[in-house]
Amino acid sequence: MKAVCIRTFMDVETGELREEGTRFDTTPERLAAINSTKYGQLAQEVVESPSEEATEPQTDEKPKPKRRGRRPKSTQE
């Protein structure tokens, strides 16, 4: 399962500094252990819906046409 840090903390089990907003893989038991410290809730589970990940955002933008016009003057003498 994925979890996201609510507050920056040192993960004692892995020895990593978990910054606020970062996502990491964990087990439900480990997430419960992280949040059961005297510092309160430090991370929460990320609920991802598979339908949102599978679809890519649609854009209605058309590619810009190539510029037309004069060619720059050559620098040859």
What are the sequence ranges of the domains in the chain?
Answer: 2-47
- How far the first Cα of the chain sits from its last, in Å, is 69
pTM for the structure as a whole: 0.58
pLDDT tens, position by position, 22-75? 999 999 999 999 999 899 999 999 987 666 555 556 666 677 677 777 777 777
pLDDT tens, position by position, 7-21? 999 988 889 999 999
Tokens of residue 16, six digits: 């990593």
Q: Which residue has the tokens 């209605």?
A: 60
